[in-house]
């Protein structure tokens, strides 16, 4: 932090940094597994200020005061968390509906048709206004910098802007966009495309994870709004005000480094997940259809079909945390991933036990090549998995950044390991030394798994060293500080 560092910081996000929940052991505090929270929390702890978010925990209401405020972190309070309350209908229409059934598929080109409902849009608008108004006049006057997070709250900058202009305040607003921005030809299918842009342009600064998303955004503004675009300065002038657009790639909050050697760790992990193999391949994702999990499973199937010498030696552990389970598309997707896994495991089991197979394995000794773990892991456990894995596969069909790719690279340090990374994840711009591939191309994906597993140790080390250097140099905190200093520049 430098002299330019803003004071009186306010952060808006849908997700809160601390959730109070009733459990069997009484009220417990939970930290959500969220890249966004990890990036901003250290900054908030350092600067103090106010964080406004949806109060989603079952014990949230009874742990804060009547205005929804609680001082956090609970063990050593350094800033204030103000909770916004949503009714079940608001939660369904603003969050499950417009945010996750309309905007999420719209911006991810993942061949899931977005569902645009007028009622969801109306509630989304109302809830955004409520978030903005939950900042009292006194808090707004005191706020020098306001950081609004992500696509759930795209209209908050505009709602705040009208209050800031009326009160003639000088507070600065930044909106950080964590998902891709798509070409305008696709974006304009959203019935409220113009309103959403106008809402966002209430900000002084809008950040994206890659330069190409920023270019797409400028193009959408140019095509859909009456505004002026200055490509040199990367600004949009709309209704007499300038908004700067900037590529600011997010970094990671590194998981703890496991202090054990790779083969000891690998053995412990195989025992923990009940598998036996030599090679550990890993996937870590929310169970989301944009992450390309079925495509990854099919590529593994083709790799094993073509290279049966790896059967029994190769195990792919997919850690997938259930997410957005209120949305039908997510429930169906989870069933699809489970049934593909079963089918592939069963297929190789049958093949191996056939009389004609050259690789005879007793059915009782058969270890399925895919182990699906449908649960959250602790930070420590993730750190161990990353450190032990010979291969990490990130096959997103489209992804703003993808922090898992960076976490793997960070955790590997100077060890050998191969990262297979989708060309359609924002992270591929910063990690060109990964084995980059098109997840829609099953043959290429399968071939690349073989290439990565048979690459020389020196090649793997060389690739990992370069990537590690870049990931370490720019962590989550550096990302947040970059945004804060751009706001005051």
Residues that bind ligand ADQ (CB under 6 A): 33, 35-36, 178-179, 250, 284-286, 319, 321, 376-377, 382, 399-404, 407
Chain centroid, CA 347 distance in Å: 33
* Minimum distance, C-beta of residue 404 to ligand ADQ, in the bound complex (Å): 5
Q: CB of 290: closest distance to ligand ADQ in angstroms?
A: 7
Nearer to ligand ADQ (CB atom), residue 146 or residue 397? 397
Tokens for 192?
A: 């409220």
Say if residue 381 is preceded by a cis peptide, omega within 30 of 0: no
Q: How far is the CB of 376 from ligand ADQ (least distance, A)?
A: 4
Q: How far is the CB of 38 from ligand ADQ (least distance, A)?
A: 7
CA angle 154, 159, 164 (to 5 degrees): 125
Structure tokens at 451: 């290439």
CA atoms of 255 and 440, how far apart (whole Å): 30
Query: Which residues on neighbouring strands pair with residue 133, listed in sequence order?
Result: none
Q: How far is the CB of 174 from ligand ADQ (least distance, A)?
A: 14
**28 vs 230, beta carbon nearer ligand ADQ:** 28
| Residue 459 DSSP SS3 | helix
Taking the complex as a whole, the smallest distance from the CB of residue 397 to ligand ADQ amounts, in Å, to 12
Could you give the 3-state DSSP secondary structure of residue 229?
strand
| Residue in this structure with the two tokens 């903005």, named with its chain if needed | 132
- DSSP string of 394-446? E--SSBS--HHHHHHHHHHTTS--EEEEETTBTHHHH-TTSEEE-TT-HHHHH
Q: Please say which residue, 144 or 323, places its beta carbon nearer to ligand ADQ.
A: 323
Using the minimum distance from each CB to ligand ADQ, give the nearer residue, 100 or 445: 100
Nearer to ligand ADQ, 37 or 70 (CB): 37
How far apart are the C-alpha atoms of 328 and 247, rounded to whole Å?
A: 34
Nearer to ligand ADQ, 151 or 303 (CB): 151
| Least Å from the CB of residue 305 to ligand ADQ | 28
CB of 410 to ligand ADQ, least distance (A): 11
CB of 454 to ligand ADQ, least distance (A): 28
Computed from CA positions of residues 119, 121, 124, 128, in that sequence, does the dihedral angle turn out positive or negative?
negative
Q: Which residue has the tokens 């994906």?
A: 445
Q: 11 by DSSP, 3-state: which?
A: strand
Coil vs helix vs strand at 245: strand
The nearer residue to ligand ADQ, 253 or 340, going by C-beta atoms, is: 253
In the bound state with ligand ADQ, the residue whose beta carbon lies nearer, of 64 and 179, is 179
Residue 314 DSSP SS3: strand
Q: Which is nearer to ligand ADQ, 425 or 448 (CB)?
A: 425
- Report yes or no: 132 and 163 within 8 Å, Cβ to Cβ: yes
Helices (runs of H) and strands (runs of E) counted in the chain: 19, 18
């Amino acid at each position: 932090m430098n002299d330019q560092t803003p004071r009186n910081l306010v952060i808006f996000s849908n997700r809160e940094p601390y959730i109070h929940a009733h459990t069997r052991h009484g009220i417990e505090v939970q930290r959500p597994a969220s890249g966004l929270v990890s990036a901003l929390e250290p900054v908030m702890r350092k600067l103090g200020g106010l964080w406004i978010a949806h109060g989603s925990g079952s014990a949230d209401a009874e742990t804060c005061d009547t205005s929804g405020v609680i001082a956090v972190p609970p063990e050593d309070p350094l800033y204030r968390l103000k909770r916004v309350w949503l009714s079940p209908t608001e939660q369904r229409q603003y969050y499950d509906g417009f945010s996750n059934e309309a905007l999420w598929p719209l911006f991810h080109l993942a061949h899931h048709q977005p569902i645009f409902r007028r009622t969801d849009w109306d509630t989304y608008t109302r809830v955004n206004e409520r978030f903005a108004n939950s900042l009292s006049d006194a808090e707004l006057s005191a706020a020098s910098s306001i950081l609004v997070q992500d696509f759930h709250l795209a209209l908050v900058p505009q709602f705040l802007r009208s209050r800031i202009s009326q009160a003639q305040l000088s507070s600065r607003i930044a909106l950080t966009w964590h998902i891709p921005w798509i070409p305008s030809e696709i974006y304009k299918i959203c019935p409220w495309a113009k309103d959403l842009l106008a809402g966002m342009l209430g900000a002084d600064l809008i950040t994206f994870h890659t330069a190409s998303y920023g270019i797409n955004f400028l193009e959408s503004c140019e095509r859909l709004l009456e505004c002026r675009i200055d490509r040199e300065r990367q600004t949009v002038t709309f209704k007499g005000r300038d908004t700067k657009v900037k590529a600011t790639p997010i970094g990671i909050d590194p998981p703890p480094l496991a202090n054990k050697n790779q083969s000891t760790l690998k053995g412990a992990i195989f025992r923990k997940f009940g598998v036996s193999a030599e090679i550990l391949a890993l996937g870590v994702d929310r169970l989301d259809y944009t992450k390309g999990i079925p495509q990854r499973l099919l590529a593994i199937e083709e790799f094993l079909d073509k290279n049966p010498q790896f059967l029994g030696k190769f195990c792919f552990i997919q850690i997938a945390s259930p997410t957005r389970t209120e949305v039908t598309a997510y429930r169906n997707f989870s069933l699809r991933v489970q049934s593909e896994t079963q089918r592939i495991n069963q297929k190789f089991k049958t093949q191996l036990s056939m009389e004609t197979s050259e690789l005879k394995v007793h059915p009782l000794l058969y270890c399925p090549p895919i182990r699906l773990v449908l649960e959250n892991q602790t930070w420590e456990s993730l750190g161990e998995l990353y450190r032990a894995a010979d291969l990490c596969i990130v096959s997103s069909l489209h992804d703003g950044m993808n922090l898992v790719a960076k976490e793997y690279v960070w955790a590997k340090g100077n060890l050998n390991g191969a990262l297979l990374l989708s060309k359609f994840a924002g992270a591929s711009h910063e990690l060109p030394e990964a084995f980059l591939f098109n997840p829609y191309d099953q043959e290429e994906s399968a071939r690349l798994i073989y290439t990565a597993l048979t690459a020389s140790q020196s090649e793997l080390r060389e690739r990992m060293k370069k990537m590690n250097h870049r990931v370490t140099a720019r962590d989550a905190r550096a990302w947040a500080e970059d945004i804060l200093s751009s706001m005051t520049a």
